[in-house]
Amino acid sequence: MGEIARTLVSLSGPSSVHGIIPTALMRYEQKTDSGEPSIDEKIFGRTTVVKDMHTRKAAMAAEVSAGGAGSGFVALSGGFGTLEELMEVATWNQLGIHDKGVCVFNVEGYWDGLLRWVRDAVEAGFISQENGKILVAGTTPEEVIGLLKDYTNSKERFQLEWGQH
């Protein structure tokens, strides 16, 4: 996460990034060249430090949900955390918690196994054919942007009320 933020800031400036990071991950993700944790906006862009992963995910979801047309969630290649967050936002879309696009940037086939799993789950009846389209995949930045811009929510999404009780 830190390296992606650093690269985007170097290419497009500090306003191009808003990172949301739990305190515990600071020492691993946002390091200066000397190896020290930092929230220097000139290096990493705007950074919001939160107490835990649940708060991070809620804040990220709120940011994306507040976005305009074409905004959505994009998963880059990653590990356990990336997969967990991707599946959560896909599930939230299915449950009607948000209505934003959910896309994987499938560089060099990285997400092929997951996409095959979705197809298998549809075929086995665990995911409906329509809801199998919640997760879309692009192989170029332009394709990802187009997929989010043209994203259509599943007609079988749950229409549940998620207000505070």
Instruction: Lay out the sheet containing 135-138: strands in order across.
Output: 72-75, 101-105, 135-138
Token digits of residue 163 = 């207000």
Nearest to 31 by CA among 22, 40, 23: 40
Query: Domains of the chain (ranges plus CATH)?
Result: 1-51 (no CATH), 68-157 (3.40.50.450)
pTM of this structure: 0.83
Residue-by-residue pLDDT tens, the chain, 165 positions: 667 777 888 888 888 888 888 888 877 765 566 766 667 788 778 888 899 999 999 998 898 988 888 889 999 999 999 999 999 999 999 999 899 999 999 999 999 999 999 999 999 999 999 999 999 999 999 999 999 999 999 999 888 877 755
